[in-house]
Amino acid sequence: MQSIWIQRRGGPEVLEVRTGPVPEPAAGQVRIKVAAAGVNFADIMMRRGLYPDAPKLPAVPGYEVSGVVEAVGPHVDASLLGRPVVAMCRFGGYSERVCVPAGLVHEIPPQLDLVTGAALPVNYLTAWQMVRVMAPPAEGETVLIHSAAGGVGMAAIQLCRLSGARILASASASKHEFLRGQGIDHVFDSRREDFAAAVKAATGGRGADVILEPRHGRWIAASHDALARCGRLILFGFSSAARGRRSGVWSALGTLARVPWLRINPVRLMNDNKMVGGVNLGRMWDQGPRIAGWMRALLDLAAAGDIAPVIDSVHPFSRAADAHDRLELRQNIGKVLLTPDPEDTA
């Protein structure tokens, strides 16, 4: 069985494909033959030694998979055998086979193929928590989505459209044409430091009602400034700490040092009539039934054609370093995925 291991902290070159025994599902678990695994910033941060919830190295990254149930443990409904599913996993997803609790497994509707299914869990659950649970925009409200061409950004765009919200987007300049092709009129340069003024100009001086901010650091204050009265700022990442090949402890500390710890405080929030919240799907493992409800709703929307993951690229396990590079260097538009190498070439 193939698995991709992170041997030590470092760049993509520390990823290594190893072979090992096929795991047996424990009580309450199923074993999935993996068709595809999602690549997420949590995996990048884990590889860089910047993810506090990651297991001790060496370890196998991977938060989400799709595949077919090929074995069930004790106390699990045997009718799951042979079903196409998506699943969340607490790392370990970069493997040909993975065992996960049955409660984290969801059957894929026939309208979805397995590779596309792997692009749903992390990105769309994160977006759902932000724009359906914590800061749902009303019809006609304005939502500013940073890193809009990434996996979470594309998911948020699709969900906000279903709400009837007006969407603004920011991304690197090379992705602006793609976003305009998605029907977004106002696209901002994500590196432009005065983008708050540009957002105010695009909204007649009012500001955005909801802003989704993954970059952390100094960008928190800038996004706060771009909010309208009664606006909601949702933080969902720490991506500024991963700066391509310069990433490491110092880049993380530099990002933390730029957080406006004192400027955005309870008194300021009350006086400004604004709200700041945060989302970290990796800290929601104790919310299984709630997450399952969100996932079922997303699968229904996907089956109806109301949402559709944008796939940037699919890489074999043997080219996992390329997949990590693409995400870490912000070259992707949409989701980056991994698939096991064919058995005759593994």
Whole-number pLDDT of residue 27: 98
Give the mean pLDDT of 273-293. 95
3-class SS letters over 154-165: HHHHHHHHHHCC
| Interatomic CA distance for residues 302 and 306, integer angstroms | 6
- Partners of 33 in the β-ladder: 68, 97
Question: Could you report the per-residue pLDDT of 76-86, keeping only the tens digit for each?
Answer: 999 999 999 99
Q: Cβ(124)–Cβ(155) under 8 Å?
A: yes
Per-residue model confidence as pLDDT tens digits over 196-252: 899 999 999 999 999 999 987 788 999 999 999 999 999 997 655 555 556 666 566
User: What is the average pLDDT across 301-308?
Assistant: 97
Does the structure show a pLDDT above 60 at 148? yes
Higher pLDDT, 342 or 333: 333
Portion of the chain with pLDDT greater than 70, in percent = 93
What is the percentage of the chain residues whose pLDDT exceeds 90?
85
- Distance, in Å, from the CA atom of 298 to the CA atom of 306, rounded to the nearest integer, reads 9
Domain boundaries, the chain: 2-120+309-339, 123-282
- Neighbour tally for 6: CB within 10 Å: 26
More confidently predicted of 257 and 329: 329
The reported pLDDT for the residue numbered 346 is: 47
With a cut of 60, say whether residue 50 has pLDDT above it.
Answer: yes
Q: Residues 95-132: pLDDT tens digits? A: 999 999 999 999 999 999 999 999 999 999 999 999 99
The predicted pLDDT at position 237 comes to: 77
Averaged pLDDT, 292-316: 97
| CATH number of the structural domain 2-120+309-339 | 3.90.180.10
CA distance 158 to 80: 30
* Rounded Cα–Cα distance for residues 216 and 237 (Å): 7
Q: State mean pLDDT over 187-202.
A: 86
- pLDDT: which is higher, 300 or 237: 300
Q: Which CATH number fits domain 123-282: 3.30.930.10, 3.40.50.720, 3.20.20.140, 1.10.10.10?
A: 3.40.50.720
Q: What is the mean pLDDT of the chain?
A: 92
pLDDT at 190 over 90: no
CB 307 within 8 A of CB 297: no
* pTM, two decimal places: 0.93
Higher pLDDT, 292 or 217: 292
Q: Is 53 left (phi over 0), alpha (psi -120 to 50) or beta?
A: alpha
Higher pLDDT: 256 or 271? It is 271
3-class DSSP state of 91? coil
82: closest CA among 97, 71, 95? 71
| Nearest Cα residue to 316 out of 298, 335, 336, 301 | 336
pLDDT of residue 258: 66
pLDDT of residue 143: 98
